[in-house]
Structure 1
Amino acid sequence: MNEDTYNEMNQLHESGGAVATVDQLIQTLRDDKNYDRLFDALLLKKRLEMGVPVVRPTSFDNLPEDRRAEFEEHYVNAAREIGSLHLEAGSIPRAWIYLRTIREPEPIVAAINALEISQDVDEELVDIALYQGVAPAKGLEMLLASHGTCNSITVLDQQFMQLEPQVRQECAALLAQTIYRDLTATIKYEVERKQGSAPTEETLRELITGREWLFAEDNYHIDVSHLHAVIRFCRSLDANRDEVRLATELTEYGAQLSPQYRYAGDPPFEDYYTAHHHFFNALTDTDRDAALDYFRDQLAGDAPDSDKQLTAYHLVDLLRRIDRTEDALDIAAKYLLSVEDQLEFSFAELCAETGRYDKLMEVSRAQHDPVGYAAALVEQARTP
């Protein structure tokens, strides 16, 4: 704003008063697209109307208690308007400042998800989408484009368990597609170089079948730590997602790597790629009983109790997801009751989920838990 504007305000204030001055200021700021100052001016006008001090227009101080809600409503409406104006102007980060304050992220989510991804990504957008959790899957896509696979996996690994289940799936699926595509392209190149012509096979499984030479002399074709992490992420995928097939084929590739590259995981995934292959088979009903037996056998062995508890935790999760809840209840009752807090598992929730309040009463009685017993008794009576 130039000096003329300030002179005009002085003149208007003398001739028309405070309200006219503020109204003109609001119009000038709107015309100039000076939206941040416009926000302040809108609140200044409201405080002027309320007859309270206006020197700090966005402050909630010096408000009559019986009119605080009125000012709060105006504040929210002004923030919503300014956020929308910034979005119309193409400034998602500026819009987020206002819409975050009033806890209305939906327009920001829609705007971010509508963006086309390029290598030249605004770091502020990555921060909002991924690190602040507004649109994590899109944020991960941006990070992949701008910083590559390594950085993206590292960032996701730090945040994965804090994400909502559906968002975890979207992120895991994106990385599975990326790793699978990159690995398949590398394998095709190696095969063409070896045999002198491009391979006709398309899938990773087809490409590595019968070509043990690909793994000779401890050879590998992708960063194995990336492979390891992405397969772990893929445990969050629902059975009906196409990426489960990709993850299964990635385990088949991993199982042929030199032992030094087959890093062990926590129980029941010590034999990392074999265990995950069984996990995905159970999930997709591919030789399911044999796959489940792989994990049951680990419970039947002589492993330490802590290992069996971890195995039981993952097996119960798997059984729940494939609707074998009776089996899940039996295993949970045997192995997980003493480590519910440690593993963030609730036997009571599992019983409620399956309608088996009789099982909860049985366990509560055995554990001398009258409160749990009473809760189960009440819920059972409520159940039609």
Structure 2
Amino acid sequence: MSEDIFTTLEELQQQSPEAVLDRLIETLTEQKNYHRLFDALLMKKKQALGVELLQPTSFDPVPEEQKKEFEHAYIDAARKVGSLFLDEKLYSDAWLYFQTIQEPELVAEALNKINPRTIPEGKVEELIQVCVYEGANPEKGFEIMLQVNGICNTITVFDQMNAQLKPESRQKVARLLVDQLYSDLVQSLQYQVQQKVPMAPPTENLRELMAGRDWMFEGGAYHIDVSHLNSVVRFARLLNDDDPSLAKVIELCEYGSQLDEQFQYPGEAPFEDFYPAHQHFFKALTGEDSDRNLGIAYFEKKLEQEPDDEDKQMIAYVLIDLLTRVDQNERAIELAETYLSQFEDPNTFSFTDLCRKTDHLDVLQRVARGKGDLVTFAGALLDAQSQTQAQES
């Protein structure tokens, strides 16, 4: 840094403190030294408030009656500096400021415009870090990860992190993985068909590619990493009921069901028969009444026949999830009261939330009374009263 600027600041000090700080801000802006610019902007505010300047970002020296005014200046400075970093495409630095003032939207929007195919190699890990691990835009981070690092790495990281993500982010990433795996599998089968039946018309539909071609699976053949297939089908249970990618998931289940038995890895109850069980689940969500009834009956039979209490709870959890998603709340509440009334985990299942969301606070009162839980009983009692009053008014 030139010695001239130090001399200039000394000379401006004879003029006024404001002149020194204005020149400091101008110089730091020209140098794109934005982290120190943040300090300088807050120094200027502290100078105006008559507060010592050598701890520019600290609230401690600020008198109580001036803290609100300083807080507004802090937010404005963070917003300004964060925007300057965004202009330079320094997303991690920008996120530091916008996250601090709880304004994540601008960074998320800027990250959303990135084309994963054009990211310089040296920027990939930085973008994944800020998007996924720091939470600026998880779905974009997983899109970058999928494009650059491949589906194996993406599945592993998503498996580790999906409980930490918001539901909408989980759904977007699950859809991303379903679409990618489906596309990869179609491409692989299309190549095999063209090798054996050169005149066959091309199709992008997995079911059409498999139709009448059992020879594809002879000798334990497979056409995609079967562990990836297993994971992606499992992730697909995160998708919304009306998600168009569910049709692809059903086809992936049909493909998986034709694989050699050694490649049909069993899941946890009630998905021991992994692909057929998932097929029942997804068809119940998306199909006609007959598919819905068949799917529900499939899981009800598993619940009835399961001797292990812990597995019964797992089956009940899946069945309750399915029932609530197809608007059969009465049956869902009945099962929940029998098997899961003790569960209160916000990341998996909450009996209280289920009762509240399905307007069954009377059931929650009954269970709370049985457990001797006065607090939950009182809350359910009064919330039910408020709902009744609101409906009557």
Q: TM-score, normalized by length of structure 1?
A: 0.94
Judging changes above 3 Å, is the alpha-carbon distance between structure 1 residues 100 and 371 closer, same or farther for their aligned structure 2 residues? closer
Q: Which residue number corresponds to residue 269 of structure 1?
A: 271
Q: Which residue number corresponds to residue 227 of structure 1?
A: 229
Judging changes above 3 Å, is the alpha-carbon distance between structure 1 residues 73 and 266 closer, same or farther for their aligned structure 2 residues? same
**C-alpha contact (below 8 Å) 2:190/2:202 kept by paired residues:** no
Q: Which residue number corresponds to residue 78 of structure 1?
A: 77
Judging changes above 3 Å, is the alpha-carbon distance between structure 1 residues 117 and 376 closer, same or farther for their aligned structure 2 residues? same
RMSD: 1.9
2:181 pairs with one of 179, 182, 196: 179
Judging changes above 3 Å, is the alpha-carbon distance between structure 1 residues 323 and 20 closer, same or farther for their aligned structure 2 residues? same
Q: Secondary structure at the match of 1:20?
A: helix
CA positional deviation for 1:189: 0.4
Please tell me the residue identity of whatever aligns with 1:288.
Answer: R
Please tell me the residue identity of whatever aligns with 2:179.
Answer: Q
Pair 1:162-2:164 in alignment: yes
Q: Which residue number corresponds to residue 61 of structure 2?
A: 62
Q: Which residue number corresponds to residue 12 of structure 2?
A: 12
**Which 4+ runs in 1 deviate beyond 6 A?**
none
**Equivalent residue runs for 1:135-154 within 5 Å:** 135-154=137-156
Pair 1:37-2:36 in alignment: yes
- CA–CA distance in structure 2, aligned partners of residues 157 and 284 of structure 1: 25
Q: Deviations over 1:244-301 (max 9, x none)?
A: 0011100111111111111111111111001100010011134110111110000110
CA positional deviation for 1:109: 0.5
Q: Which stretch has the larger CA shift, 357-366 or 23-32?
A: 357-366
Q: Secondary structure at the match of 1:118?
A: helix
- CA–CA distance in structure 2, aligned partners of residues 119 and 295 of structure 1: 46
2:315 pairs with one of 304, 311, 325: 311
Q: Which residue number corresponds to residue 359 of structure 2?
A: 355
**C-alpha contact (below 8 Å) 2:116/2:148 kept by paired residues:** no
Q: Which residue number corresponds to residue 294 of structure 2?
A: 290
Judging changes above 3 Å, is the alpha-carbon distance between structure 1 residues 33 and 46 closer, same or farther for their aligned structure 2 residues? same
**C-alpha contact (below 8 Å) 2:51/2:61 kept by paired residues:** yes
The alignment covers a number of residue pairs equal to 383
CA positional deviation for 1:320: 0.8
Judging changes above 3 Å, is the alpha-carbon distance between structure 1 residues 57 and 366 closer, same or farther for their aligned structure 2 residues? closer
CA positional deviation for 1:118: 1.2
Q: Which residue number corresponds to residue 243 of structure 2?
A: 241
Q: Which residue number corresponds to residue 334 of structure 1?
A: 338
CA positional deviation for 1:101: 1.8
Pair 1:3-2:7 in alignment: no
Q: Which stretch has the larger CA shift, 36-45 or 314-323?
A: 36-45
**C-alpha contact (below 8 Å) 1:119/1:146 kept by paired residues:** no
CA positional deviation for 1:119: 5.9
Q: Secondary structure at the match of 2:156?
A: helix
Identity rate, percent:
45
Which structure 1 segments of 5+ residues have no match? none
- CA–CA distance in structure 2, aligned partners of residues 357 and 214 of structure 1: 54
Pair 1:255-2:254 in alignment: no
- CA–CA distance in structure 2, aligned partners of residues 97 and 369 of structure 1: 43
Judging changes above 3 Å, is the alpha-carbon distance between structure 1 residues 344 and 69 closer, same or farther for their aligned structure 2 residues? same
Q: TM-score, normalized by length of structure 2?
A: 0.92
